Amino acid sequence: MAIFEDIKVQWGEDSYSCKAQDVFRMIAHLEDGGINIMEILSTNSVTVKCKAFSLALNFMGAKLTPEDVYQGLFLNGQEGALNLLMALQKMIVPPDVFKKAESMTDEQIKETSKKKPRKKAAKAKS
């Protein structure tokens, strides 16, 4: 069972898609392109997000540069920038996690981000 869902993205007049079973490969493609997936959602760098979005769309068959995506932000105004951020989140965050995060309050999100991951218990030697 795939943890992701199919992705469909509209860019201009063109539509692109990525099957659920290929989403993890797309994420690896982003990381191979220098994108740190764990930091992409928290960074304020517009250029990093434009690069990530162009890499994702290129994985799906587009021929876009980060500069094309950057220009698109201005052509579509503030709504275009928000759509880009939402599309990026929906591409790289597993849907069940994304849905859970959407229902959390700001306070719950802050508390969750403060928690450190649990360390795996050491296996007992026999």
Residue 5 has pLDDT above 60, yes or no: yes
Cβ-based neighbour number of residue 71 at 10 Å: 12
Between 60 and 13, residue with greater pLDDT: 60
Report the candidate in 31, 69, 35, 37 with the shortest Cα–Cα distance to residue 50: 69
**Strand duo 14-18 + 7-11: pairing:** antiparallel
pLDDT at residue 111 in the model: 66
Mean pLDDT of the region 44-62: 92
More confident residue, 107 or 64: 64
Per-residue pLDDT, 113: 56
Q: Are 7 and 18 in contact (CB under 8 A)?
A: yes
Q: What is the pLDDT of residues 19-30, one digit of tens each?
A: 999 999 999 999
Q: Where are the domains of the chain?
A: 7-93
Model confidence at 41, in pLDDT bands (50, 70, 90)? confident
User: Any idea what DSSP says for residue 13?
Assistant: T
Q: What is the pTM of this model?
A: 0.74
